Amino acid sequence: MSEHVHLTPLRGSISVTDAAAWHQVVAASMAHDLPGVPPPSPGQIHAQLTKPTLDSHRLTWLAAGADGVPVGVAGLRLFTSRGRDHLAELELHVDPSHRRNGSGSQLLSAVVEACRTEDRRSLIVEAAADSPGEAFCERWSFRRALSLDHLILHLDKLDEAEILRVAGAVHPGYRLTSWTGTVPDDLSKAFAAAKNAMNDMPVGDLDYGTVDWDAERVRAMAQVIADRGDTLLTIAAVHDDGTMAGYTEILLPQGAPSRAQQYDTAVVPAHRGHGLGLWIKAAMVRRLPAEYPGVTEIETDNAEDNVHMLAVNRELGFRSYRRTREFQLDIPRA
């Protein structure tokens, strides 16, 4: 059965009312499909909808029923940097009480048309494994491109002696350094070079493009995160020759979150095989509760075929708790 649904593209200045409606739909959707995963707060949603993104811009739609009640939302991130300007990334939620009534299909139709208008050939979206979202993707002929294992580390259940041993280990020729927010100027070029090591991470069959990092881009990324009210923590291993051998990043969402999100962890190819990934991640596990005692958990995700990083995370005490899948829709030119 279908119901009358009105789609409103949200353009220009997004109101607090629109952001609240968006949050209402996302919270209901996540409570149904992702029990145990904290939904973003109203403030996070407002920042997501109103603050600039890095090398991209966003299109958004709000679906409401005949009575004006919000029933679904869609956000389309259009990447603009060279190497990714063929790509769009979708977030789509429908309130569980309004599913199977055509709302999601109407939203996706608008999204696909926008992709054609913007000359995008690849649309990617993430859905929880074995969820209604996965069934929706398959019904619309998305192909499964990547499987992700999500893991949680409970900081109150750590083997503290083992973490201290690993974090305190001596790695001749390397030293640890850390910062909050923007990378220090004297490390910015080395950090950008290390960031490019992420381009060889396993992505399955996903057409995710490539990113070219330089000092300006790493600073811009940190500013985007700060502008939306989040906090970025970084620990890096620096070689005696001044190159950055590896790094790990943790994101703390605005407010007082109990769960931190792992961002990138990478070791530059020339420095792999020395245990640096485990070392820098153990150092971060020690740093986080010392500086932010309200944080009790860290969530990370890894491609299921990224056996090395999965092994590192499990050695630290991360345990699997859910799976997601990345889907891709190839969009023919109009």
Q: Are 52 and 67 in contact (CB under 8 A)?
A: no
CATH H-level, domain 151-323: superfamily: Gcn5-related N-acetyltransferase (GNAT) (3.40.630.30)
- Number of helices and strands in the chain (H, E): 9, 12
Burial (0-12, 13-18, 19+ Cβ within 10 Å), 111? buried
Conformation bin of residue 83: beta by default, left when phi > 0, alpha when psi is -120 to 50? left
Residue 200 predicted with pLDDT over 80: no
* Residue 254: predicted pLDDT: 92
Specify the pLDDT at position 1.
Answer: 45
Per the prediction, the chain carries an average pLDDT of 93
**Could you tell me the maximum CA-CA distance found in the chain, to the nearest angstrom?**
67
pLDDT at 2 over 60: no
Indicate whether 326 pLDDT > 70.
yes
- CATH label, 5-120, candidates 3.40.50.12280, 3.40.50.150, 2.102.10.10, 3.40.630.30: 3.40.630.30
Q: Looking at residues 102-126, what average pLDDT do you find?
A: 96
What is the pLDDT at residue 304? 93
Domain with CATH 3.40.630.30 in the chain: 5-120, 151-323
As a whole-number percent, the residues of the chain with pLDDT over 70 amount to 99
Is the Cβ–Cβ distance between 92 and 107 less than 8 Å?
yes
Q: Given pLDDT bands bounded at 50, 70 and 90, which one contains residue 12?
A: confident
pLDDT at 13: 79
CA 315 to CA 165: how far, in whole Å?
A: 13
Percentage of the chain modeled with pLDDT above 90: 86
> What digits encode the pLDDT tens for the residues 269-306?
999 999 999 999 999 999 999 999 999 999 999 999 99
Q: What share of the chain is helix, strand, coil (3-state, %, to 5)?
A: 35, 30, 30
In one letter, which amino acid is 225? Answer: I
